[in-house]
Structure 1
Amino acid sequence: MEEEYSVDPAQLLEAATDLAHRPGSLSDSSAQEFLARFPLPAVISALQTSADYPGLENAVVPCLERIFKTKHGASLIPHFMPVVLVGLGADSQNVRHLACVTVSCLLSESSDGRISVQLIRQYGVYPLLLSCLVDGDDQVAAASANAVKALASYPEGIGIVFPESTNEATHLENLAQKCSPLVRVRLLALIVSLFSISSSVASEISKSNLLNLLEAEVRNTDDSLVILSVLELLSELAEVQHSAEFVSRTSLFQLLCSIISSEAAEMILRSRAMVIAGRLLSKENAFEFIDDSSFTSVLSAIDGKFEFLESQDSDACECALEALGQIGSSFHGATLLLLTSPPAARHVVDAAFDRQHHGKQLAALHALGNIAGETRLGSNIVLNNTAEENLKRLIYEKASNTAKLTPSGLLLSILQQDSEIRTAGYRLITGLVARPWCLVELISRSEIISILANAYTETKKIGMESRHRCCEAIYRAFSSSGTLSSDPGFADIAGKLQEAIRRGPYLATKQSETQPVVMTADRF
């Protein structure tokens, strides 16, 4: 048998190197051609004796990874499961990485996932994957985590990854309690990755109390690097749409508030905690699962430290403004920002029109745009009467305390600044113009409309698109305002906005006839 499948190592090295570095994705036909010349058993056999041939392992491993990622290659994996098991326990990190990738390919490229999961269970693959996660190098651990995530993506695989008995050696909570801080962070990263798969998988994580491991890791260590790593994982978790539902069942909000309010916490930890809390509360469905006390606790923590952050660390202040803006992106969050006493939104309004600090102003303008409803749709743009009165009052009071005197003056000054500030200003106006008082302010200043209608104001794509959307929002509000739209004195403004909308966002120009160029001939 060995003679039947023996290959020339030199030829295999050359062919594997070529295939591994071939540009583009590998086709099934290319994989078949390679395996017709070098049968898979022979390649595996050569890999097991690769120590005798320098460079062979480094060529064969990426070559096989590419082959197994094809449909044809993946179809061969079930016939070589014992070899996969050997690879998962190999001394070579390259071979272990290949084995983990092979498991992922088995699950992701299979025509019948149930059979693949059955093979994983039958051959006891999952404990070996966890071993790779625990004691492999970074690449092996990452490949192992991907394989576990692929397994948990199947309903049949959930029971393997989340055993019912907490006494199982493969239970992630048990594993986390027995390993080093580095490995615990890997396990926590795996939990967050699994959480993002679906709401049903997140439910299993919640029932297994695995989210509490994130909280416990922060509470039980004084190592700022470990805390920061866990906060980064919480930041990823906060991006998941169903995060609010399950985080609300833990005490993570209290933990984030304690970090924000802590006198001893490093500024970078406070900054991350604020942004994470903002992301969690920014979901439009957050108020369905998170009570107002959690919202107000976060707002109180940020509000109580805002002046300190403003005076001590500009980056932390920008993070606080970002967090407030994220909370304000939802209807419920924006309402609370304006109804707290005093309104937490006052910090955003003050900073939005402060030209002394560019980064802070930029963050505040985007935050105020969110509060004003630029990211919301339809009837969710405008808030309840009390919140709207507070928003109007904050902006008018800010204007009266500056040389601009009126909101229109403030908005004009924004549009006269650099491109980044202008783009944030477009977002702010797009949200604010749904209010009649803001519409009146805008059309009372012809300079504002001239800047907005000028197709040459912006040269970057995001700026062009934001300016165009702003024109559409103003014209939409203008057209629906019976008194203003019927006033002949505003016909010129309507015409400018219509023309700006018709020409589109991308430097559209009016048609012009080609002009001949007449030149005298050169004489020598």
Structure 2
Amino acid sequence: MEATPPPPPPELAPMLEAASDFASFPGMQNDATVKEFLDIFPLPVLFSALQNEADVPGVIDTLVACLDKLFSTKYGASLLPKYASFILAGLQSDSQAIRCLACKSVSHLLENTEDCKAAVQTLEGHNIYPLLLNSLLDGEEQTSTASINAIKCIAQSPGGMGIVFPDPSEGSKQLKDLAAHSSSLGRIRILALIVKLFSVSSSVATAVYDSDLLNLFEVEINDRHDMLTTLSALELLYELAESPYSSRFLLKTTLLQLLIGMISYSCFSNSSVDTILRSRAALISGRLLSSVDAYTTIDKSSVSTLLFAIDGRLKLLDSQNTDECESILEALGLIGATTEGASLLLTSSFEVASHVVESAFGRQSRGKQLASLHALGSICGVDRPEEKMMLDSKAEECLKQLFYATAANSPKLTPSGLLFSILQQEPEIRIAGYRLIAGLVVRQWCLMEVCSKQDIISVVTNPHAETTKNGMDARHVCCVAISKSLSSSPLLHDASIAGIAGKLQEAIKRGPYLTKKHIEAQPLVITAERF
């Protein structure tokens, strides 16, 4: 049996009990409660106990939890400038819990202060930033995360960017020197910091780029000796690519060329590792080309090189149901989300678009078909604003021809047959089918195909066709899209189509869920019971 820890000294017991109650209070404490607590146990008393009674079991954990909750309030954070020396001492403590608290205190101070500029000056005056970097590199996971958040708070505060980026060359040298002398874990943590900083604002993203810190991703990904480190760097690069500023800056580096190289050829001798790396490289590439800004930055030759690499992988993976294949199809959906990307995919000399269409209606594998249907829906513009759903005439003609060619080479013979076959499959496939139809029907040829197939209209207007919320919502959105396109179409003058329009309107009024039609109350007449 484990020995029971001795109770705290009598003089500490009331404070620890009160601190424990304060920390365990559900939700946020208010300023009045904080003031009441500090009237009984002032901050110097709590700090003194942390410093002098650290060996007493429970003291550090209890007081750290209490102080963290206390400083997360507006009143508690307002006291921190007077106790900046506590933050300084805490960042140099041997206790990970105290160091983590000190990092969090920096965030609390900057997030709750009314004079952010003065708070930044206080931190600068106590030289807090280098100690935060130390906690980032050699702290435990929670401490490192708290340090990253604190540095992010400094960078986004008035006057704080000058601390993190004194000037482009010095800011670059500081973090680059740390990375050069750090372990693989330390280097990944520095990359994680760069990701957080990059997403703060356009000005901070510019500072990251000007400091040449994005080069650290290239260095880490190029170093293929440690597969786990390479994968971690790719995961962080994917997160970086989700930033609204990514296309503006990342495409000015050689990162895209590096990713294309990963898609094209093996990086490690282990084939399973190659597959993972190629999957992530494809998704990151797709993410980078998923915004309109990308096409004002990147040159067409880079896009062609990427499509060439993707085309080669898809042909090699033909009729295989692999994670890599699904990732590539997802990447194509990301690229096709913009009108520029969709037009490039459809008019390219490579066969990537035809592969998407053929896979969407093939039943070789569920995962591949599902990924293709969603990618095709994105290419057709389902996620774009209404005025940008249609593409240029050349791309539109290519899309139409792909559908009719795929249908002609299948037992279904027509695009309407292909679409109805999707609505006859399992729920997830049907949801992707509803999404695809909603994007397609802005095109007159597809609207005609859909309206010519009564079976499609019957499914789309049937309130009992789906049993899940996602399915009901997708069906209803599809129904609304068909009705909206039909309302402005010359097809409405056709008598048979006019009946379909009425059926769609009735389904829309019912809403997406299983609502019952209004039923009038009926009188019930029964004979009286006799004893």
Q: Which TM class, normalised by the smaller chain length?
A: over 0.9
Which residue of structure 2 lines up, in the alignment, with residue 272 of structure 1? Answer: 280
Residue identity opposite 1:357 in structure 2? S
CA change 1:168–1:271 in 2 (3 A) is: closer
Moved more, 200-209 or 502-511: 502-511
| Residue of 436, 441, 455 corresponding to 1:433 | 441
Moved more, 268-277 or 213-222: 213-222
Alignment of 1:87-236 (within 5 A): 87-164=90-167, 166=169, 171-236=174-239
Which residue of structure 1 lines up, in the alignment, with residue 493 of structure 2? Answer: 486
Which residue of structure 2 lines up, in the alignment, with residue 502 of structure 1? Answer: 509
Which residue of structure 2 lines up, in the alignment, with residue 3 of structure 1? Answer: none
Query: How far apart in 1 are the matches of 2:495 and 2:172?
Result: 79
Please report how far the alpha carbon of residue 65 of structure 1 lies from its aligned counterpart in structure 2 after TM superposition.
0.4
Query: How far apart in 2 are the matches of 1:231 and 1:343?
Result: 27
Q: Deviations over 1:391-423 (max 9, x none)?
A: 111111111111111100010011111111111
Residue identity opposite 1:413 in structure 2? S
Q: Deviations over 1:310-347 (max 9, x none)?
A: 45651111101100111001100000001111342111
Which residue of structure 2 lines up, in the alignment, with residue 303 of structure 1? Answer: 311
Query: How far apart in 1 are the matches of 2:10 and 2:118?
Result: 32
Query: How far apart in 1 are the matches of 2:351 and 2:180?
Result: 44
| Residue of 463, 482, 493 corresponding to 1:474 | 482
Query: How far apart in 2 are the matches of 1:69 and 1:145?
Result: 17
Moved more, 59-68 or 469-478: 469-478
Which residue of structure 1 lines up, in the alignment, with residue 455 of structure 2? Answer: 447
Which residue of structure 2 lines up, in the alignment, with residue 41 of structure 1? Answer: 44
Question: What secondary structure sits across from 2:200 in the alignment?
Answer: coil
CA change 1:343–1:310 in 2 (3 A) is: closer
Which residue of structure 1 lines up, in the alignment, with residue 244 of structure 2? Answer: 241
CA change 1:300–1:516 in 2 (3 A) is: farther
Residue identity opposite 1:487 in structure 2? D
Query: How far apart in 1 are the matches of 2:125 and 2:289?
Result: 43
Please report how far the alpha carbon of residue 52 of structure 1 lies from its aligned counterpart in structure 2 after TM superposition.
3.8
Residue identity opposite 1:378 in structure 2? E
Moved more, 263-272 or 187-196: 263-272
CA change 1:352–1:435 in 2 (3 A) is: same
Please report how far the alpha carbon of residue 294 of structure 1 lies from its aligned counterpart in structure 2 after TM superposition.
2.3
Please report how far the alpha carbon of residue 8 of structure 1 lies from its aligned counterpart in structure 2 after TM superposition.
2.9
Q: Deviations over 1:132-170 (max 9, x none)?
A: 111111111100000000000024111110122645797
**TM-score when normalising by structure 1:** 0.95
Residue identity opposite 1:110 in structure 2? T
Query: How far apart in 1 are the matches of 2:304 and 2:172?
Result: 41
CA change 1:310–1:229 in 2 (3 A) is: farther
Which residue of structure 1 lines up, in the alignment, with residue 6 of structure 2? Answer: none
Structure 1's unaligned 5+ residue stretches are 1-5
Please report how far the alpha carbon of residue 519 of structure 1 lies from its aligned counterpart in structure 2 after TM superposition.
9.2
Which residue of structure 2 lines up, in the alignment, with residue 13 of structure 1? Answer: 16
CA change 1:521–1:42 in 2 (3 A) is: farther
- The reply on whether 1:282 has 2:290 as its aligned counterpart is yes
Moved more, 306-315 or 327-336: 306-315
CA change 1:186–1:307 in 2 (3 A) is: same
Q: Deviations over 1:25-53 (max 9, x none)?
A: 22212212211221111011111123342
- The reply on whether 1:82 has 2:85 as its aligned counterpart is yes
Please report how far the alpha carbon of residue 463 of structure 1 lies from its aligned counterpart in structure 2 after TM superposition.
2.0
CA change 1:222–1:101 in 2 (3 A) is: same
Question: What secondary structure sits across from 1:171 in the alignment?
Answer: helix
8 A Cα contact 1:93 1:140, kept in partner: yes
Query: How far apart in 2 are the matches of 1:518 and 1:332?
Result: 69
Query: How far apart in 2 are the matches of 1:168 and 1:380?
Result: 42
8 A Cα contact 1:166 1:174, kept in partner: no
CA change 1:7–1:99 in 2 (3 A) is: farther
Number of residues paired by the alignment?
Answer: 518
CA change 1:185–1:434 in 2 (3 A) is: same
Please report how far the alpha carbon of residue 514 of structure 1 lies from its aligned counterpart in structure 2 after TM superposition.
4.5
Query: How far apart in 2 are the matches of 1:168 and 1:282?
Result: 30
Which residue of structure 1 lines up, in the alignment, with residue 4 of structure 2? Answer: none
Query: How far apart in 1 are the matches of 2:530 and 2:324?
Result: 69
Question: What secondary structure sits across from 2:54 in the alignment?
Answer: helix
CA change 1:165–1:315 in 2 (3 A) is: closer
Please report how far the alpha carbon of residue 356 of structure 1 lies from its aligned counterpart in structure 2 after TM superposition.
3.0
CA change 1:259–1:479 in 2 (3 A) is: same
Moved more, 428-437 or 219-228: 219-228
Residue identity opposite 1:135 in structure 2? D
8 A Cα contact 2:197 2:204, kept in partner: yes
Query: How far apart in 2 are the matches of 1:68 and 1:140?
Result: 17
Please report how far the alpha carbon of residue 461 of structure 1 lies from its aligned counterpart in structure 2 after TM superposition.
2.4
Query: How far apart in 2 are the matches of 1:217 and 1:201?
Result: 22
| Residue of 320, 324, 334 corresponding to 2:342 | 334
Moved more, 344-353 or 458-467: 458-467
Moved more, 29-38 or 424-433: 29-38
CA change 1:232–1:443 in 2 (3 A) is: same
8 A Cα contact 2:152 2:196, kept in partner: yes
Residue identity opposite 1:510 in structure 2? K
Question: What secondary structure sits across from 1:282 in the alignment?
Answer: coil
Percent of aligned positions with the same letter in both sequences? 52
Residue identity opposite 2:84 in structure 1? M
Q: Deviations over 1:71-129 (max 9, x none)?
A: 01001000101111000000000000000000111111111110111111111111111
